[in-house]
Structure formats: structure tokens, C-alpha cells
Structure 1
Amino acid sequence: MRIGILTKVFTAELVDAAIAKHGRAERCRRLLSARLVVYFVLALCLFARESYEDVLRVLTSGIPGSRALARVNRSS
């Protein structure tokens, strides 16, 4: 599963601008940032046959502190 293309096509600046344009910026710091949620939704579209957990695991691999994401509640 190749996720790196997401950040090349949809740069962090572009994602942040879209979040800000629609008034969805975070009011407080959360485990799943708005930017990560956007990338997660895009990855789910690209890898529709994979489980949510697998997509999140691959998406967050290499991110410092991403082990905390393993504790995200399934209902989240």
C-alpha cells in the first residue's frame, strides 16, 4: 500500500487551507488531527478493500508518537 503519493499530491499546505476555508480547524489539540483525518479519508477511498485499522496503521507508520493511535477507540 503506497501512501506517500497522498502527501505529494495533497500537500500539507493544501489540506490545511481546505480545512481553514471550511472552518474546520481544531479548537483544541486532538490525537487525530484534522489534517490526519483528511489524509485518512483520502486513503480509505484509495484502499477501499483494506480495513480501517490497516489503512490507519500504514498512514501513520513513521510518524513519531503514532503508537498512541493504536489506542483510538473503534467507535471514533
Structure 2
Amino acid sequence: MRLGVVTRWVTPELVAGVLEKCGVRDKKPGALPAGFMVYFTLALALFQQDSYDDVAEQLVGSSRELSGSIPNKSSFTRARRRLGPLVLQTVFRELASPLAPVGVEALFTAGCGWAR
């Protein structure tokens, strides 16, 4: 699976909106962009079998902002710290929704025996 599939749900517009809502802005010129770091953090979780460098190489290659140059690991660490956990929590909350159809709780309270 490629990370591009994720952008179907975690759209650049969603990421920009969450960053705005959380008050995270790119302040330092030359620092890794916050939007890029959202996708990098998701990629680290999705591609756990790959090294940090491999994940970075895949993403940097597809980012115009970074011009194909891979920053060092400490840059990623600082950028993840600046991003903070609230941004990813908010992305999750924006996307998460119940999978069960509305009204399914009635099955559990109607005496079907499933809730016991």
C-alpha cells in the first residue's frame, strides 16, 4: 500500500484545517513543514517494517517543498516535537466515526440475549 491511498481520507485540506484548529504554523524558514510531518508520522505508523530513512526517502521524493533532499534524523525529531500529539489526535477525531448502523443498539436492548 502506498501513502497516496491515505490522502483519499487524510486530504491536504483536512490536514490544513486541523493545523489551523490546533494553532500549529510553520514559523521557522527551512524547517520541515507541519503538513508534511503529519503525513510522515502517519507513514511511520503504516510502514513500521521500513526504516526511518526509507520512509523519509519515499515522502521527500514526492514533496516539492523539500526538493528531494532528505533532512537528517534530528530535524525530523524536532519537527515531530513541534507538531505535538494534539494534531494527530484531532486528525483521528475528524475521521473516526461509528461503523455500526444507526439503531443497532436497539438489538442489544430488545432481549436478543447478545448483551449478556
TM over 0.5: yes
Residue 72 (structure 2) pairs with residue 73 (structure 1): yes
Moved more, 47-56 or 1-10: 1-10
Q: Report the counterpart of residue 44 of structure 2 in structure 1.
A: 44
Structure 2 segments unaligned to the other structure (5+ residues): 76-116
SS in 1 for 2:50: coil
Q: Report the counterpart of residue 56 of structure 2 in structure 1.
A: 56
Structure 1: how far apart are the matches of 2:62 and 2:26?
A: 23
Who wins on radius of gyration, i.e. which is larger? 2
Structure 1: how far apart are the matches of 2:6 and 2:61?
A: 14
Specify the code of the residue in structure 1 equivalent to 2:68.
S
Number of residue pairs matched?
73
TM-score (norm 2): 0.56
TM-score (norm 1): 0.81
Percent sequence identity over matched residues?
38
Moved more, 21-30 or 44-53: 21-30
Structure 1 segments unaligned to the other structure (5+ residues): none
